[in-house]
């Protein structure tokens, strides 16, 4: 299993990024969470097989229609065995 922590910057708030990511993540079969940050970025953790995580990361680099992803910083994290994917409150 692979888990990553991702911070996405650009025009990624107010465009459905988090809720679309939740759909993409659930379809890919990964676990984790996503939330807006006060600085205008979106933060997420994604856990699954390397292929599943790569699939979600590829989507995150593009985002939904109406978004403009300027950068996505990905850092490896320790897998937690988490189940499900949720949208969390702004952090």
Closest alpha carbon to 91 in 34, 47, 45? 34
CA-based end-to-end distance of the chain: 26
Does residue 18 carry a catalytic annotation? yes
Catalytic residue, from 2, 18, 26, 88: name it. Answer: 18
What is d(CA 46, CA 77) in angstroms, rounded to the nearest whole number?
9
Say which of 36, 37, 83, 88 is annotated catalytic.
36
Active site residue 36: yes
The DSSP bridge partners found for residue 71 are 9
Cβ(45)–Cβ(33) below 8 Å: yes
Name the residues annotated as catalytic.
18, 36
């Amino acid at each position: 299993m692979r888990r990553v922590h991702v911070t996405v910057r650009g025009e990624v708030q107010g465009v459905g990024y988090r809720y679309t990511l939740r759909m993409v993540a659930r379809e890919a079969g990964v676990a984790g969470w996503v939330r807006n940050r006060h600085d205008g970025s979106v933060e997420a953790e994604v856990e699954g097989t390397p292929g599943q995580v790569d699939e979600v990361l590829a989507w995150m680099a593009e985002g939904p229609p109406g978004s403009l992803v300027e950068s996505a910083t990905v850092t490896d994290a320790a897998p937690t065995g988490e189940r499900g994917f949720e949208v969390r409150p702004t952090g």
